Structure 1
Amino acid sequence: MKLYTSNRLEQLALQLNAAIAAPLSSRSPLAPEVIVVQSRGMARWLSLQIAQISRICMNCEFPFPRAIIGRTLRAFFPEMAPEEEFTVEAMTWKISRLLPDLARQKEFAPVKNYLTDEDGLKTFQLSEKIARLFDQYLVYRPEMLMRWERNGEENDWQATLWRKLAGTGERLHLARIHESLSATMTSAPQNRLPERVSIFGLSSLPPFYLRVLIELSRHCQVNLFLLDPSREYHGQDLSPKMKATLLSKLADRGLTVREEDLPTGNPLLTSLGKPNRDFTEVRVDLDERAGFVMQEQPEQFVEPDGEGMLQTLQRDIFHTRNRGVEKNPKTDVHATDGSIEVHSCHSPMRELEVLYDHLLERFEQDPTLKPRDILVMTPDIEKYGPFINTVFAYPEVSRQSIPFSVADRRPSNTSPTIETYLSLLALPGGRCTASELFSLLDRLPIRRRFAFTDEEMTRIRQWITGSGIRWGIDAEHRKALQLTELDANTWRTGLQRCLLGYAMAGRNQAMFEGIMPYDEIEGGDAEVLGRFVTALEALFKLVLELPVARALSDWPQELGAVIDQFFLGESNEEISDLRTIRMALDQLSRSAELVGGDQMVEFRVVRYHLEQLLDQGEHHGGFLTGGVTFCALQPMRSIPARIICLVGMGDQDFPRPSQAPGFDRMAQDRKCGDRSTRDDDKYTFLEALISARERLYLSYVGRSAIDNAEIPPSVLVSELLDYLDQAFVFPNNKKAREWIVTEHRLHAFSPRYFDRQTKGLFSYSEANAAASRSLRANSNQPLPDFFADPLPEPGEEARRVELKSLIQFFDNPAKHFIRRRLQISLDRDEDALEDSEPFELNALDCYWLKQELVAHVLERRPVAAEALAARGMLPLGEIGTAHFQTLLSAAVEFGEKVEPELHGQAPDEPLLVDLPIDTFSLVGQIESRYGDRIVRFRCAPLKSKDKLRAWINHLALCAADPGTAHETVLLGSDEGGWKFSPVAEAQAVIASLLEIYWRGLSRPLPFFPESALAFAQAELFPKKNARSAPLDKARRTWNGSKWTGPPEKSNRYYAFCFLAKDPLDGEFKELARQVFGPLLRNSEPIP
């Protein structure tokens, strides 16, 4: 075995390329080159390096260590158990089958309490933990497993379980092979071996694996390429903590040793480099015991050059030098040295925003720097992944775009197809709420399957709301969940209402067989309704039939049927993702074959296991694609880069604690070479330190976004800062934390980023710069207008204006503009589906119910509480009845006020209008006509928009029938009402409103109905001895007070458009006069 060592991965790549350049004398000219790596990221980097050196990289295999060890052992031990038989997955299934019976034995008392769940999920999860331990025992404690098999230790539940699991000695597993390894592998292999195996970039290997490789090297060429941070031996160096422990123990024995006499080396290397020291010790020990000497090749260590902090630190590690102590004086730091940066932010989002600005600065200052030269790693890529996309995928301007890719994310968080599939499997056992099932139907894969368009999904949402669907498939489904067995507000009841409403249109809200038809579904909606029902029935079948215990061998077919039912697999991405799901199901099938397919397994167990399989699959994409690479901070990923950035380096995030179960025998008796999550993370940090060629960038959440409380960084960042304090002299005698750590502001638009007064605070964002200028001027400098220039006028077809659209415009011109022209909705809760049946009625519900009840009263139509409850408009039971009686009383009282204005007439049919007015056409229908008058009522206090709606309808009627003297009556609950007199110049007034409407399609207009009416009334009809100017009246309405209620400016559309300035300006006054002037002059209050 040849051993190559270097502190530079690039040097190891050169040595590897030279080693594999020698042609193989293989019997097959197509025999691949076998290069063992620990991660796909390393394989990707290495293949690029080989291609760069040799101009090509082909026919190379990059197996993981376990794969090459299994292949080697199988060549010498043909009778070895199949590879799948002792995988964690296979052992998990076997253990979950054995545990319930074994739990009756007294030695299993420590784990018996975990086996009490009905569906077996806890048992399976415990089995998974045990299987992972056994998998570690096979590799790190084979002698312990063989002792369990031979001695039959009593009162040891793990030994008993292992004997049951392993069975007889006929099937060889790793522990059984371990005993006869040397004797068997000295003979010729019975199967073909690779002619050459190269192990590249691994910082450690289990002693067992290393022993197999040593034996393998007797039969083929084995090259071991190891990254070592130092050319000096540092196994004897002690950290301060280790020194204190040793001195204490020596003192207890009466021995005195001076601390300075104990070897120290470089503190960072001593603290972070334990895996490297352990692996060196394991290698030496195996060499001695096996009588084997590795052929150490000439060292390829390269002393780091450069005068920056980072390069000096790397040299200290390289020479195991403890700078700042005795013979190693401190080094002065140049004021412009930015080779090591630490940034403290208030949130992950701010971390990425700060990183983005700093990368833009690096590209600006160094034209030779390319995005591919930058590697960004984080301990939690799932947490930071969404923020990465938010910040880097949407630059303010295209010239600030930074190409990037994200690797290592779980497919369930990045693949819409896999995410949808798992969401489908999450339905059984749930309440099947309206929002839950609608959101599933609205997912792209399912929309494709059932051919739903955007417009159709909007209609379906309306049907769900209108038919009163809230949760539960039906009463039986609710009963199965041990909840109230009622059909009201369930999916099936809602669907029955929709189907009856379509089939029995025109029944005028009459109940049929206890069901109230929902009559808002028109004839052209039949096909959409059919697909909607088909999709829902498929979901119902999944929810009701899937969660049944089945034989393990039956589950792959059942779960595969879900794919066939809900996915088409049209796009390449969807096809690839569905293939991933099917591969996971195939893996489940293989497990069933290995452990016995007759094992009965509950749905929750299979669902949990499938989620694990999908999330633990290999993640191939996103690594080293030519842009900035974002990936997980994982062990043995020492990819060199000009700039290495580590984000998310918080105290609770990294290093991860070694959380071993209480029954882990390895944790109870640690040995050299054992893996430790915490030690691996510390060594990963060390590898990052030595792999950054020019700059090391660190960031963490160092302040609370709520109260600005300080949050400590990772202990590894603190150790680094402590050493920098010890080793360097910073300008102005500052400490490392004062010079290196940049404390960022909570908001990216803080003026400190643009005044260039604070080191490390800057920004390339023009939008944030504009916001900061206003803040810097103490808000006296207005923010830029939301709309500096108007949009182009819409097409000529927009001049055909619907009456209801004109009315909606004057309700809120800003809202109409944003929603129609910009296609933006600020009403986040407006379309939210209700997931609970009504228990109380809010003010809006009461209003609509009273309006409907008043109509029933006026038309002498009976109405029952049951009918309203059947439509989902009233709470069930006595609460609903009480509400109904209260609302009915109010409706009857208000009806008595309205009825005299009707003069005993029934309403006429709606009048269709199509009025050519100047360059416009006004089309629509006018309702609530009683002869030559319109009677409108609102069982609530009248608002300015009610008066505007009535006024516009009144104008349309006068313009459509100018030969008749029409009037309009508007009644409210708080006052007598308003009466609009005939308008001779109705067309001219409408033309004026249409001109305003047309302007409002290009920019938001400062017209606010309540404030505008207050201004117009005060100006046109001033009160005697009025103390306030008309504009002051409007401003009081706009700003609000405890007497006038909430301010009109609190409307989110007004705030969105007019935050930058006071909108009550000259244009506001002109619009108020133009709109409300004619209204007030042609109306009078009804006493």
Structure 2
Amino acid sequence: MSITHITSLSLEDITSELSQNILKERKNFPLRSITIVVPSVNMRSWLNLNLARISGLCANLRFLFLEKALEEYFHFRAGLDYDPFQRTFPSQDAIQRKILTFLIENLNSEETKFLGSFLESIPRAFSLSAKLTSLYKDYELNRSSWIQSWANEKGLDIPSISHRPTPFPKEDEYYLFQKKLYQKVFLNSNQPSTLIQFFLKEVFKNPRRSPQDSLHLFCLSNLADTYLGILESISKKDKLPIYLYQFHTGASTKTESLGPQRWSNPQIHISSKIVSIPGTISKNLEDTRIYPEKLSALKNLLKGEIRGHNVENFSGDFSVRFWNAPSSYREIESVANDILYKMNQDRTLTYLDFAVLVTDMKVYRPAVEWVFDGGILLQTKVDADPIRKKIPYSLTDINANEASLLYRGLMNFWEICSGNFVRKNDLLKLLRNPLLQKKIRIHSEDVQELEKLIETSGVRYEESGRENDTFQISNGLKRIRLSSILSQEAAWTKYKISQIPLESEEYSLHLTLFWETVLKVKKDILSFFANETIRWTSEYLKVVQTSIEELFEFSEEYEQEAKLFHSWLQSLSEWEGIQLQNPEQGISILKFLTEQVFNQIPYRKGAYLTGGVTISLLQPMRPIPFKHIYVLGLGEGKFPGSDDISQLNLRKHFREEWDISKREIQEFLLWETIHSAKESITFSYVGKNLQEDKTFEPCSHFLEIMEFLEVKDVVRLPLHSYSIKYEHTLRELKQGLVSYDFARVWVNGKRKDHPVLDRFQNPDELIKNHSDLSRSTIDVKELSQFLSDPLDTYLKRKLAMYLEEEYAEENEKEPFYLDAIEETHILKKVHALMIPDLVLEKPWVWDQEKIVQAVTPILEKEKFSAKFPASVFGKIQEA
């Protein structure tokens, strides 16, 4: 059988062709499960929705990623047993573990000598192992001739599938180091050590069984050289029907143009490689849909069809727009208002017709949640009451480390386990975690009171060897516990404890349980680090699991966190057997592993493609069509990124025709995105940083499109949604200069005639309402922070769940001096003793000796309450 190559610039047409091929296959094999290889989970979701809509296909379809599909295929082909739920070959985590073990064991070997002291730091060694793991897979996929040569030097046979060998880079220390490491770790037996090695060995063998399935590859981009060679081989040798659906024009010759049409060069290579295979059947589906003239001209440019166009015809065409925003927040806010305007003008539109694509989700996620979740206080008519309009949306491409409570809890706990020193702030961060609150049965509304109680106790840290220090956390909690059962007089006279006021005796119980749980779990985690050489066994990993389950509880409310916990445990199990030198290395590995695992786990909010406006990064969207698309963050340096110029990257010395850089991948994603827009596309960048008084330029791709369309000026979005610059002329509305914000009407309109004033002019409504709620209090520190930056303090207090915690540099050690407030507090007590003698007729007796006698018991109480410096610093303050 041959390869059938279907190309089109319409994803819907490609999907229709896919459904027809599946239906033909089902006529001959009605019970066969059809395998469809997809590039992402997002594409699988889109196909599930649209295959059912186009042809009613919804059952007996298997969506796999390419690597998994080939693994299953070659196992069946070789007559081997295959369990999709069991790994036959090491995962990327297991491969990284092997590399890190080699680096640790060969710290002073000849191969690593040139790295100097770099490997002595476990964070650096871990980072290097992650980089090498990625590079070795890259070499297997794009430099199989290197792998063949390295294997031959060891007397092993791993064939190369490239149609020509790639020249070797210069044999410097970086090349020799990577070659020796790969040979010692992955070329130590005739059996394949990695999944790609298994593919390379099996593809040249004759099949023991002939698979009867077909393979549908749907809109894959960046097909590596090894994968292309494998597909060519199995189509010829195994007579496997392969259908390759490509979002492309079908062109097979790379363009030498410097214009935007060059952005499709990565797909042109795939197309030319497939077309060159004998017997390939090519089919290009022309997109016959009619697009707005300006958008159509841009699409023709990207296809390489440069046609003459009259700029005057574009004067009333707003299908391609360019925005310059003062901030990412204003970008999102302008998008939200523009969506509401478009839906108001076209009643057939729904939220599902809009997509917002960003270049950096970390930058735009807070703004998205503030605007879309918080809503816009809008007024569509002058005499209408304002309403808060919330826009439903689905947010994808969030990494779990940005949103997971479990990730925050684990990272806080690893900090507590690092060394013999526990900081108070690390303990407070752990206490704020809802997963821990569920476990020790603390109500969320009591957390703030518990924090205040810890602050009142004066504790700062916990450190072994200083058990009698009043600033120790354990001693502070002991004072809190005794304060709940002893009277003030008994506590001081018998135990020298200054009583701490408690609003509820349960608070002391909660804190004691919390502290004992943390200490127990920490002890269990560190229990396996008693020996000089530490090896992670299955028993130890079981202890880690049990310990974390004692610390956090995953109720139904936090079902997603439970799934993340199991994913984390699964990745952790891949590191069984690693040997470390000391406890510090063990905790460091746990910390880096947690960060790496959660950084790789996708996290989403809302139902993708069905939950409202689709908000995503450029990459996983692929060419999914939408009527209106907004591409945000196209600033200079923000897009398309930079290439890997690391000394470790051996591919950079010689570029093959199939090599695709990170920059080219991003360019092609933009190329696809433009073709996926049906009615309009808006490009935007942040042109100002008002806090630092800086201006920025757009990226070169932004300017290229502007130049082609002969657009002289971009639309500058006003600084505020209530700006007077919003005049709402018809042209400005279509350009995107629209704001429904009620504040705009209130600030710039005739406020005296506004009906909203009636609400504040009724005397009956001015009667004070008495509330039964207790008065809330704030401390001086909070007040100081608010006065220095009101908005920042308000956001951190109210929206901490949305914002990333800032690790403020606070003085967590014992105080070396008294601040003005504490000093005033002590003087106030002394003055209370002195002032009554001012009205007496007796001679004034308050000399230095008398003052020392009065101050001494006060200072003694302050010291035992951990509110006065100790040791030599305390004596200086006393003087």
**TM-score class, shorter:** 0.7 to 0.9
Q: Provide the rounded CA distance (Å) in 2 between the counterparts of 1:207 and 1:676.
A: 14
- Does the 8 A contact of 1:702 with 1:710 survive in 2? yes
SS, match of residue 529 in structure 1: helix
- Does the 8 A contact of 1:467 with 1:498 survive in 2? yes
Q: Provide the rounded CA distance (Å) in 2 between the counterparts of 1:576 and 1:706.
A: 37
Write the letter of the residue equivalent to 1:535. Answer: F
Deviation track 1:1048-1077 (CA, whole Å, cap 9, x = no partner) reads xxxxxxxxxxxxxxxxxxxxxxxxxxxxxx
After superposition, where does 1:784-799 map in structure 2 within 5 Å? none
Count of equivalent residues: 790
Cα pair distance change 1:788/1:55, threshold 3 Å: farther
Q: Provide the rounded CA distance (Å) in 2 between the counterparts of 1:556 and 1:545.
A: 11
After superposition, where does 1:686-705 map in structure 2 within 5 Å? 686-705=671-690
User: Deviation at 1:652?
Assistant: 1.8
Write the letter of the residue equivalent to 2:51. Answer: I
Partner of residue 515, structure 2: 536
Partner of residue 314, structure 1: 299
Q: Provide the rounded CA distance (Å) in 2 between the counterparts of 1:55 and 1:829.
A: 50
Write the letter of the residue equivalent to 1:349. Answer: Y
Partner of residue 924, structure 1: none
User: Deviation at 1:705?
Assistant: 1.4
Q: Provide the rounded CA distance (Å) in 2 between the counterparts of 1:863 and 1:389.
A: 54
Output the aligned Cα RMSD.
3.8
Partner of residue 487, structure 2: 505
SS, match of residue 625 in structure 1: coil
Cα pair distance change 1:84/1:767, threshold 3 Å: farther
User: Deviation at 1:310?
Assistant: 1.1
User: Deviation at 1:358?
Assistant: 1.2
User: Deviation at 1:129?
Assistant: 0.8
SS, match of residue 256 in structure 2: coil
| Corresponding residue to 1:362 among 342, 353, 369 | 342
Write the letter of the residue equivalent to 1:295. Answer: I
Partner of residue 678, structure 1: 663
Partner of residue 1082, structure 1: none
Identity %: 21
Deviation track 1:1016-1036 (CA, whole Å, cap 9, x = no partner) reads xxxxxxxxxxxxxxxxxxxxx
1:451 aligns with 2:441: yes
| Corresponding residue to 1:607 among 576, 588, 591 | 591
Q: Provide the rounded CA distance (Å) in 1 between the counterparts of 2:41 and 2:582.
A: 35
| Corresponding residue to 1:851 among 819, 828, 835 | 828
Write the letter of the residue equivalent to 1:657. Answer: S
Partner of residue 556, structure 1: 541
Cα pair distance change 1:182/1:462, threshold 3 Å: closer
SS, match of residue 458 in structure 2: coil
Q: Provide the rounded CA distance (Å) in 2 between the counterparts of 1:389 and 1:788.
A: 35
User: Deviation at 1:828?
Assistant: 8.4
| Corresponding residue to 1:21 among 13, 23, 27 | 23
Q: Provide the rounded CA distance (Å) in 2 between the counterparts of 1:504 and 1:611.
A: 45
SS, match of residue 753 in structure 1: coil
1:404 aligns with 2:386: no
Partner of residue 159, structure 1: 179
User: Deviation at 1:844?
Assistant: 3.0
| Corresponding residue to 1:721 among 685, 706, 713 | 706
| Corresponding residue to 1:188 among 207, 222, 226 | 207
- Does the 8 A contact of 1:343 with 1:698 survive in 2? yes
1:90 aligns with 2:76: no
After superposition, where does 1:907-946 map in structure 2 within 5 Å? none
Q: Provide the rounded CA distance (Å) in 1 between the counterparts of 2:502 and 2:519.
A: 22
User: Deviation at 1:53?
Assistant: 0.9
- Does the 8 A contact of 1:435 with 1:834 survive in 2? no
Cα pair distance change 1:182/1:404, threshold 3 Å: closer
Write the letter of the residue equivalent to 1:322. Answer: I
Q: Provide the rounded CA distance (Å) in 1 between the counterparts of 2:554 and 2:292.
A: 57
Q: Provide the rounded CA distance (Å) in 2 between the counterparts of 1:599 and 1:64.
A: 40
User: Deviation at 1:388?
Assistant: 0.5
Deviation track 1:256-309 (CA, whole Å, cap 9, x = no partner) reads xxxxxxxxxxx2112x11211222233345x2xxxx321223x21114523431
Larger radius of gyration: 1
Q: Provide the rounded CA distance (Å) in 1 between the counterparts of 2:834 and 2:439.
A: 47
Structure number with greater CO (CA < 8 Å, separation at least 6) is 2
Q: Provide the rounded CA distance (Å) in 1 between the counterparts of 2:770 and 2:177.
A: 83
Cα pair distance change 1:662/1:194, threshold 3 Å: farther
- Does the 8 A contact of 2:722 with 2:745 survive in 1? yes
Cα pair distance change 1:858/1:433, threshold 3 Å: farther
In the superposition, the TM-score normalised over structure 1's length comes to 0.67
Q: Provide the rounded CA distance (Å) in 2 between the counterparts of 1:80 and 1:849.
A: 78
| Corresponding residue to 2:868 among 842, 863, 874 | 874
Partner of residue 516, structure 1: 497
User: Deviation at 1:233?
Assistant: 4.8
1:745 aligns with 2:747: no
Q: Provide the rounded CA distance (Å) in 1 between the counterparts of 2:582 and 2:536.
A: 6
Q: Provide the rounded CA distance (Å) in 2 between the counterparts of 1:225 and 1:552.
A: 46
User: Deviation at 1:680?
Assistant: 0.2
After superposition, where does 1:98-177 map in structure 2 within 5 Å? 98-117=102-121, 120-151=122-153, 156-172=176-192, 173=194, 176=197
In the superposition, the TM-score normalised over structure 2's length comes to 0.82
Cα pair distance change 1:458/1:704, threshold 3 Å: closer
Write the letter of the residue equivalent to 2:492. Answer: A
Q: Provide the rounded CA distance (Å) in 2 between the counterparts of 1:8 and 1:337.
A: 22
Deviation track 1:979-1024 (CA, whole Å, cap 9, x = no partner) reads xxxxxxxxxxxxxxxxxxxxxxxxxxxxxxxxxxxxxxxxxxxxxx
User: Deviation at 1:127?
Assistant: 1.2
Write the letter of the residue equivalent to 1:649. Answer: L
- Does the 8 A contact of 1:721 with 1:737 survive in 2? yes
Q: Provide the rounded CA distance (Å) in 1 between the counterparts of 2:712 and 2:40.
A: 35
Cα pair distance change 1:169/1:466, threshold 3 Å: closer
- Does the 8 A contact of 2:252 with 2:269 survive in 1? no
Partner of residue 325, structure 2: 345
User: Deviation at 1:578?
Assistant: 1.6
- Does the 8 A contact of 1:346 with 1:746 survive in 2? yes
- Does the 8 A contact of 2:641 with 2:662 survive in 1? yes
Partner of residue 219, structure 2: 201
User: Deviation at 1:679?
Assistant: 0.6
- Does the 8 A contact of 2:414 with 2:590 survive in 1? no
Q: Provide the rounded CA distance (Å) in 2 between the counterparts of 1:614 and 1:147.
A: 36
- Does the 8 A contact of 2:323 with 2:684 survive in 1? yes
Write the letter of the residue equivalent to 1:612. Answer: Q
SS, match of residue 123 in structure 1: helix
| Corresponding residue to 2:272 among 266, 281, 284 | 281
Deviation track 1:294-328 (CA, whole Å, cap 9, x = no partner) reads 1223x21114523431112113333x2234xxxx3
- Does the 8 A contact of 1:345 with 1:745 survive in 2? yes
After superposition, where does 1:31-70 map in structure 2 within 5 Å? 31-70=32-71
Cα pair distance change 1:399/1:745, threshold 3 Å: closer
Cα pair distance change 1:857/1:85, threshold 3 Å: farther
Deviation track 1:834-877 (CA, whole Å, cap 9, x = no partner) reads 74543443443333222223345579976252331222332334
Q: Provide the rounded CA distance (Å) in 2 between the counterparts of 1:669 and 1:133.
A: 15
- Does the 8 A contact of 1:345 with 1:743 survive in 2? yes
Cα pair distance change 1:410/1:618, threshold 3 Å: closer
Write the letter of the residue equivalent to 1:532. Answer: L
Partner of residue 426, structure 2: 436
SS, match of residue 700 in structure 1: strand
Q: Provide the rounded CA distance (Å) in 1 between the counterparts of 2:639 and 2:268.
A: 21
User: Deviation at 1:44?
Assistant: 0.7
SS, match of residue 7 in structure 2: strand
User: Deviation at 1:331?
Assistant: 4.0
Write the letter of the residue equivalent to 2:58. Answer: C
Deviation track 1:195-240 (CA, whole Å, cap 9, x = no partner) reads 1211001133112212222333334322111111x355542x2134
Cα pair distance change 1:509/1:737, threshold 3 Å: farther
1:374 aligns with 2:354: yes
**Which runs of 5 or more structure 2 residues have no equivalent in the other structure?**
155-170, 379-386, 778-782, 784-792, 801-807, 837-852
**Which runs of 5 or more structure 1 residues have no equivalent in the other structure?**
241-266, 479-484, 726-735, 809-814, 816-824, 886-1087
SS, match of residue 117 in structure 2: helix
- Does the 8 A contact of 1:375 with 1:629 survive in 2? yes
- Does the 8 A contact of 1:50 with 1:57 survive in 2? yes
Write the letter of the residue equivalent to 2:115. Answer: V
